[in-house]
Amino acid sequence: DQQVKQNSPSLSVQEGRISILNCDYTNSMFDYFLWYKKYPAEGPTFLISISSIKDKNEDGRFTVFLNKSAKHLSLHIVPSQPGDSAVYFCAASDSNTGKLIFGQGTTLQVKP
């Protein structure tokens, strides 16, 4: 049972345009959501997070939107840069169980 799903395995975007990465979840008890970025041969690095009490969190070019009624979150990168090309994982945390569940990842390619 996949509680966190990233339905798009890959996304290709032109440099300077917006990248939108999507993530859906099934567990209504999730109360924190995080995005990690992973380059080849490296471990994931934290990008941005959002609490379930918010619907938007922004950090520079990165904005995460949370729609609790739809159990959906998205990561917007504006403007996209070639250095953003990586695998992006969304993750959801349930404070009651103390576990963090990751999605399968979306590979973003930003073309110059």
Q: Which residues bind other proteins (CB under 8 A)?
A: 4, 6, 31-32, 34, 36, 41-46, 49, 89, 91, 93, 95, 97-105
At its nearest, how many Å lie between other proteins and the CB of residue 46?
4
17 vs 54 by CB, closer to other proteins: 54
Strands 106-111 and 10-14: parallel
99 vs 111 by CB, closer to other proteins: 99
- Residue 59 CA to residue 45 CA, distance in Å, equals 15
At its nearest, how many Å lie between other proteins and the CB of residue 14?
26
- Residue 85 CA to residue 109 CA, distance in Å, equals 5
At its nearest, how many Å lie between other proteins and the CB of residue 84?
18
- Three-state DSSP at 57 gives strand
Are 109 and 14 contacting, i.e. CB atoms less than 8 angstroms apart? no
45 vs 67 by CB, closer to other proteins: 45
Q: Which two tokens stand for residue 9?
A: 């395995």
